[in-house]
Amino acid sequence: MTDTNTAIIPQLRIVVAVVILSMGLTVATNSGILAQTNIADLTVQQGAVPRRLVGYGLVVGLDGTGDRSYGANYGAVHTVQSVVNLLRRFNIEVPSDHLRLRTAAAVLVTAEVSPYLRAGGRFEVQVAALGDAASLKGGVLWMTPLVSNPNSPPVATAQGPVVVADDPQSVGSYARRGNAGRLPEGGVMEVDPPPVVLAVEPHLVLKQPDQVTAVRIAEAVNASLGDGTASVDDPGSVALHPAAEFADNVNGFLAQVYTLPVQVHTPAVVIIDAREGTVVAGGNAIIGPAAVSHHGLSLQVGQPTDAGDPGSPGSVWLGTDATVQDVAAGLHAVGAEPREIAAVFESLKAAGALMARVVVR
């Protein structure tokens, strides 16, 4: 925390003193309203494993942004051969040496569907370029067979226009990539899935194993349907013991269980976007006293409210009741880069000053 270290990032010339305004504000933040949700949103039935599908296809109609291919010997040879094979199905023979494609791209097609989705059901499909295509924008996926195992027959097909990053309809993890996209309703199940046999005493598998949540689920079921109806196997499983009246109606019993509300246990976790610098804190993530010096940044946590030095650029001074939000706001205010913000939070975790799991994406 010397002047030399501070000068490494000369643009950080803003002094920020972040002070907790009142104890009441901090308590309200940490003890906010706890979320409730239905058991159906927290669990899946044991044995109801989602089906993962995969296929190899072509996206066509691209505006010069497809795979760079030069016949049968150079560039994306697999894309050229795929086009030749497709045309051959329509009794059109074109020598591969004559094809110069920039309007097509070979893609990997993936999807995950419910084990109960029957023939005719639609689902979302993701596509990702296999070659050097610059963008899939404006492309259309040629009808692609999807299999659950490379050695098994197709169980579904996918086709349709691709939604990509710079398309106004694109959302989520595709916001920064032009060579990957999705088809919101592009997949169609062609055959019925194998039947899922319900056990007489089913088990609920938690989507996110957690001991507290498992106990709360069992307590909610027992309170509504009678003591002994549910018991905790482990943090990831809750066993159900239906009464005799449900012996021939397990589905009806599960319907009652799934609609029961449960108070969600949120573990302390801090998620940081290493590209954008976005920081999200879940649960009761607490910051303890600490001092961090990283390049030209200086972070002091647990100092008196007037301890900040106005002559020290790139410094963040926080009081004893600092939160994750305070640290993030202070670092953003002094112009810290996203990777620097991530490094600071990882250092706080390593030093034991941050009692939460840190995830950097």
Q: What is the pTM of this model?
A: 0.65
pLDDT per residue as tens digits for the range 29-84: 333 345 789 999 999 988 888 899 999 999 998 888 888 776 555 556 777 777 77
Q: Where does the chain have alpha helices with state H?
A: 3-6, 23-30, 77-89, 211-225, 250-258, 324-333, 338-350
Q: How confident is the model at residue 200 (pLDDT cuts 50, 70, 90)?
A: low
Question: Which is more confidently placed, 167 or 84?
Answer: 84
| Widest pairwise Cα distance in the chain | 82
The total of other beta-carbon atoms located within 10 Å of residue 238's CB is 27
As separate numbers, helices (DSSP H) first and strands (DSSP E) second, the chain gives 7, 22
Report the candidate in 132, 129, 199, 204 with the shortest Cα–Cα distance to residue 162.
129
pLDDT per residue as tens digits for the range 142-160: 999 999 988 889 999 999 9
- Rounded to whole angstroms, what are the CA distances from 235 to 118, 204, 231, 327, 341? 32, 11, 11, 33, 33
What pLDDT, on the 0 to 100 scale, is given for residue 76?
A: 63
Q: How confident is the model at residue 214 (pLDDT cuts 50, 70, 90)?
A: very high
Q: What is the mean pLDDT of residues 317-321?
A: 79
Q: How confident is the model at residue 131 (pLDDT cuts 50, 70, 90)?
A: confident
Cα(12)–Cα(6) distance, rounded to whole angstroms? 8
